[in-house]
Structure 1
Amino acid sequence: MIEIADRHALARAKAGEAAVAKILPGDRADAIYLYCRSLGEHDGAVDFTARMLAPFDGLPEDPAIGSATAAT
């Protein structure tokens, strides 16, 4: 899990296999979960946005991450 500065940076993230291979440990992890959080301007509520990049699973991004966001 890696916290990203803001939604714009999160949207620009790419799942390059060579770069991901340098980041992931040797314990067979195969994905990077990126998230950012922001505070609501009017109510101060925390808003999470997330992406899971999984190039070693045969897909550049896993779209099924909604429930995982709550665990962040």
Structure 2
Amino acid sequence: MTPLAPPSFVWHTAEDPVVPVQHSYLLGMALAAAQVPHELHVLPGDVHGVGLAEGEPAGAWTALCAQWLGRL
């Protein structure tokens, strides 16, 4: 990871059975170490590949992302 990486919005479901949430934590730590603007959210749920997650608790990611983009 370098400081040239693009700003990143990362979200993950807490109990994803396919990809461990620790992967997103590691990415967030790498972004922080490189001083790359980022935001990381771990949302409730155990579904992998939920897209917009409409109707799921993780569906909050779209509003969170819109807020983050507004702050860039």
Category of TM-score, reference length = shorter chain: under 0.3
Normalised by the length of structure 2, the TM-score is: 0.27
Normalised by the length of structure 1, the TM-score is: 0.27
Where relative contact order (Cα < 8 A, 6+ residues apart) is larger, the structure is: 2
Whichever of the two has the greater Rg, that structure is 1
Structure holding more strand per residue = 1
